[in-house]
């Protein structure tokens, strides 16, 4: 029996994204809940949250982001060996989001599976993709994070309505001679499972916001710093910090504790909201597209959310 021979390293070859055209702004939410737009912004740092239209599903948004990532990577669909979809809002248990996305892109012979680690899902999927490339199980992996959070939001619940948005992001992970994706630092604490969950009785997302805020602002930055250490990267070498866009107050507090003052901090959630597994690829793509980071620079990705779960890794910007 032989074992597969992998690549010395794995890298991000390109990024893609899809943002729905519709948005829910602070003025509309303020009118709904009897607050002010300023009140909304002060508590979330957000101005608007992208909202899926009837035509936007987890699959269609994911396929659009994936096609964008393939174009930007200059990778043909037939070169893809594996598709991993990170999502906690799939419309159906089967078939997998990854399988249907692959079908829409004309990818017919790749492996396909879904991964659910909620808002940490994209970092988990990148780690799995990189390890499979290094192990020799694949050479080109398409990773998709797609979420339709609005499906699960109780429109009468202030705490979740003012936070979540919809969208999709994607990345292509390929074999490389040198490492472009650092070791992942990940984990979970199921004793906090009730802090963010979907109630099976009414199918609405419920969140204990204050407890989540305390957890995210005290427990996650050490994970991020450990990811830097594992990658052999000093925080002073980072060009960007890309946290999950949970809430801009969390983003800013976490970045301050990481302490890489020279690094740009992704704040895509200001106009997109919390898009769960889509938020990190969308935010990194926006930084690259806007010229705030350049190809080849180092970025720290930090995902955290329901589970409770978390993951962080340093990557080289494609």
Active site residues: 119, 244, 274
Give all strands of the β-sheet with 309-316 in edge-to-edge order: 185-188, 309-316, 298-305, 240-243, 264-265
Distance of CA 273 to the CA centre of its chain: 12
- Using CA atoms, how far apart are residues 77 and 69, in angstroms rounded to an integer? 11
- Using CA atoms, how far apart are residues 222 and 83, in angstroms rounded to an integer? 31
174-200 burial, b for 16+ CB within 10 Å, e for fewer?
bbbeebbbbbbbbeeeeebeebbbeee
Q: Cβ neighbours of residue 230 under 8 Å, at least 6 residues apart?
A: 182, 183, 185
CB 146 within 8 A of CB 116: no
Give the HSE-up count for residue 141: Cα atoms under 13 Å, Cβ half-sphere.
30
């Amino acid at each position: 029996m032989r074992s597969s021979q992998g690549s010395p390293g794995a890298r991000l070859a390109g990024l893609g994204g899809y943002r729905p055209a519709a948005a829910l702004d602070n003025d509309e939410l303020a009118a709904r809940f009897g607050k002010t737009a300023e009140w909304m912004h002060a508590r979330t740092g957000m101005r608007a949250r992208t909202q899926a239209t009837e035509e936007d599903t987890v699959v269609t948004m994911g396929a659009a982001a994936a096609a964008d990532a393939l174009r930007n990577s200059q990778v043909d669909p037939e070169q893809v060996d594996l598709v991993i979809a990170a999502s906690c809002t799939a419309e159906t248990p089967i078939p997998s989001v990854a399988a249907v996305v692959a079908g829409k892109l004309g990818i017919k012979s790749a492996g396909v599976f879904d991964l659910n680690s909620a808002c940490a899902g994209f970092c988990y999927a990148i780690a799995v993709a990189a390890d499979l490339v290094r192990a020799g199980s694949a050479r080109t992996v398409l990773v998709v994070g797609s979420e339709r959070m609005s499906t699960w939001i109780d429109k009468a619940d202030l705490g979740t309505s003012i936070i979540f948005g919809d969208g999709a992001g994607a990345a292509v992970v390929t074999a490389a001679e040198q490492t472009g994706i650092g070791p992942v630092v990940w984990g979970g604490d199921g004793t906090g499972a009730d802090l963010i969950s979907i109630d099976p009785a009414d199918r609405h997302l419920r969140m204990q916001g204050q407890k989540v805020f305390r957890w995210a602002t005290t427990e996650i930055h050490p994970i991020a710093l450990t990811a830097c250490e594992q990658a052999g990267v000093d925080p002073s070498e980072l060009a960007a910090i890309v946290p999950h866009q949970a809430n801009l107050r969390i983003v800013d507090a976490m970045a301050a504790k990481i302490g890489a003052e020279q690094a740009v901090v992704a704040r895509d959630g200001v106009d997109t909201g919390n898009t769960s597994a889509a938020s990190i690829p969308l935010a990194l793509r926006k930084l690259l597209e806007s010229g705030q980071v350049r190809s080849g620079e180092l970025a720290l990705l930090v995902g955290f959310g329901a589970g409770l779960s978390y993951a962080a890794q340093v990557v080289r910007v494609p």
